[in-house]
A and B are shown apart, each in its own frame.
Chain A
């Protein structure tokens, strides 16, 4: 996938900040100064992540590639994933499961965020993605009465976002959804874990769970392919995904089986081939507590990064050869996004934003905004040039 640099007009960005600020975070913050003091404020890569503040407030923060917070948008509850529109001017922040809100944010315009509420009988799972033309929003949802995963389809072209239908995901607990490299196929990771909103986050079917990665035709809703793991890995809940340069899907999982087992946690999926599991060498593997938090590719799709917050490690692979490149220690690190071809920005629960540009050198902490706990995932807001 190639993307032009989405340039951010300094003037419009600064003008928009006032409308975004739920708290007077900008007076005295480094934001305006950090952009204004840059050699070139245009073309600066921007990132977005959900956070929790020390006072318990939840929101979404926008940061630059130096880790400085540029804007904060308060959310009604704890956030999780963010779907960024292809043109980069809008994003949708989803509630963490089993939440029922999503918020449409236009960070460069002087408009209030739009609140979307899930349909009766549905809740959001925390992730979504846009269609290639930016008109449709796809959100993974739970039809909890039927214990059935669906992709809710929303038309975002009007003045208000409208739900216009849904597709089945052929599984339980769809957690992440991507638009495939053909810009038409939706790829969904069915995590396989059944939950019900009236029972909070309790896992109801660990003995029978059956995670899978499905390929869905976004025009018809037809299931084009569905890949499950071997029976002995049926408790590896496949949850987060990233596309590599060859259009393959790297999926990271959370193992719900016995803690003394050390199963593979990352697999490579494509529509027409059987899944391949990647090995994580010892002693790294057994320190991860069988838990991958996020998966991301570098700007060119040649390097895959997967965070393991319970092990305090972020792992790297060569996407084309599958070779394991190493791991860097980042305590409670979870959100991962590419900065460019050769580096990743990694966010953690202790507030730090760290730069990793060499899997053999320590992560460099760029910033640690006081009182912020970055939540699970980090997304590129402005597009990054792959060239």
Chain B
């Protein structure tokens, strides 16, 4: 710990003397690249894949044959993969109208969603039967997490469309969720495409911008969102499943393990954060002594993906077999290293302020 701190302070001081810019750095170009080259394409992709989800639900509900089941599984996984690439963009449009929580209610270690859905079923609540009335329900019962709960069983098998007493009710609810997801994703895509939308707020940092007095403040917000994304992957998605030891590992605590999509989700969010960082193209703004950061990040993100690709889905069945526990343990260590490289080294090199409480405490 001490090593990191000392190194950070030393290097930060060094950076000031060796590369002190005559004027405050303009962070609008990297923010513009992030929006144009990462956020907008990712939102468009998310809208496109979720737009196919209602048909996949309708199809498996009309005939639950192997092809329809596979089609629904693919459509759900595609939606989840696209969601994993945008969920860490926790600013602007994703926060409006509780969109992020409505897309997926996470984390939920105490099973709030399950309890609420159980109650909905006990009452056969008709308001979950249309996207319009679903959007006024609790956020926990509206999105990808709720769809997973009603469409998959605990063995990661698709139950949507299978003939049981609740089939029609579940199919109506699932279709409402799918349409709700598609509508939210379309709204996100539209908002990020709006030249006068949040894009303009992020790119107009200055004295007349109430939110961001400088482009650096805007950059700090988006940069810290990426760091928070890394914290989520490790502390929220992985550590609860790892538990205190291999004997206490809980695969069902991994995100989207019920549908067998944990690796899809984890891999997608890490690819997303890596691509988002790359889209900023910060190399030119970073002092020479810190250029090593970019190769280091690529190397460590690559390692993280390699650990994930060595695992066999669904993890609910395979986690604990072979060296899977140690693979995920090492992944967690790698993620801590990536976070430190971002939050200490790269933020220090660019003189970006970090945590809200750490920053200017009281």
Residues of A that sit less than 8 Å from B by CB: 25, 27-30, 32-34, 37, 52, 54-56, 66, 68, 80, 96-97, 126, 175, 201, 239, 254, 259-260, 282-284, 286-287, 289, 291, 293, 309-312, 329, 331-334, 348-352, 360-371, 373-376
B4 in the interface, Cβ–Cβ < 8 Å? Answer: yes
> Is the Cβ of A286 less than 8 Å from the Cβ of B94?
no
B107 in the interface, Cβ–Cβ < 8 Å? Answer: yes
> Is the Cβ of B9 less than 8 Å from the Cβ of A68?
no
When distances are taken between beta carbons in the complex, the residues of chain B under 8 Å from A284 are 1
Q: Is the interface of B mostly helix, strand, loop or mixed?
A: helix
> Is the Cβ of B361 less than 8 Å from the Cβ of A56?
no
Rounded to whole angstroms, the CA-CA distance of A178 and B274 in the bound complex is 47
Count residues of chain B with CB under 8 A from any CB of chain A.
55
When distances are taken between beta carbons in the complex, the residues of chain A under 8 Å from B91 are 54, 371
Known contacts A30-B138, A68-B112, A364-B240: A310-B119 contact under CB 8 Å: no
Closest to A201 in B: B360
When distances are taken between beta carbons in the complex, the residues of chain A under 8 Å from B6 are 260
Subset of 8 A-B contacts with CB under 8 Å: A37-B119, A54-B92, A56-B211, A287-B2, A293-B361, A312-B358, A350-B224, A352-B236
> Is the Cβ of A376 less than 8 Å from the Cβ of B361?
yes
Q: List the count of A-B residue pairs having beta carbons below 8 Å apart.
A: 155
> Is the Cβ of A365 less than 8 Å from the Cβ of B236?
yes
> Is the Cβ of B356 less than 8 Å from the Cβ of A37?
no
> Is the Cβ of A289 less than 8 Å from the Cβ of B5?
yes
Residues of B that sit less than 8 Å from A by CB: 1-2, 4-6, 9, 90-92, 94-95, 97-98, 100-102, 105-107, 109-110, 112, 115-116, 119, 135-142, 210-211, 221, 224, 228, 231-232, 235-236, 239-240, 243-244, 339, 354-358, 360-362
Known contacts A29-B98, A56-B210, A366-B110: A287-B356 contact under CB 8 Å: no
When distances are taken between beta carbons in the complex, the residues of chain A under 8 Å from B357 are 293, 309, 332-334, 348-349, 374-376
> Is the Cβ of A28 less than 8 Å from the Cβ of B5?
no
Taking the nearest CB of chain A, how far is it from the CB of B101, in angstroms? 6
When distances are taken between beta carbons in the complex, the residues of chain A under 8 Å from B4 are 287
Given contacts A309-B355, A348-B357, A349-B358, 16 further A-B contacts (CB under 8 A): A37-B115, A54-B90, A68-B112, A175-B362, A282-B2, A286-B1, A286-B2, A289-B5, A291-B361, A331-B231, A333-B357, A349-B356, A361-B243, A369-B101, A373-B356, A375-B357
Taking the nearest CB of chain B, how far is it from the CB of A9, in angstroms? 21
Rounded to whole angstroms, the CA-CA distance of A348 and B231 in the bound complex is 12
When distances are taken between beta carbons in the complex, the residues of chain B under 8 Å from A373 are 356
Rounded to whole angstroms, the CA-CA distance of A369 and B91 in the bound complex is 12
Closest to B244 in A: A361
When distances are taken between beta carbons in the complex, the residues of chain B under 8 Å from A27 are 136
Rounded to whole angstroms, the CA-CA distance of A332 and B9 in the bound complex is 18
When distances are taken between beta carbons in the complex, the residues of chain B under 8 Å from A368 are 106-107, 232, 236
For the complex of A and B, the 6 pairs showing the least CB-CB separation, nearest first, are A287-B1, A349-B356, A332-B355, A33-B138, A286-B2, A334-B357
Closest to A240 in B: B362
Taking the nearest CB of chain B, how far is it from the CB of A14, in angstroms? 14
Known contacts A284-B1, A352-B236, A368-B232: A32-B138 contact under CB 8 Å: yes
Taking the nearest CB of chain A, how far is it from the CB of B183, in angstroms? 13
Rounded to whole angstroms, the CA-CA distance of A175 and B91 in the bound complex is 33
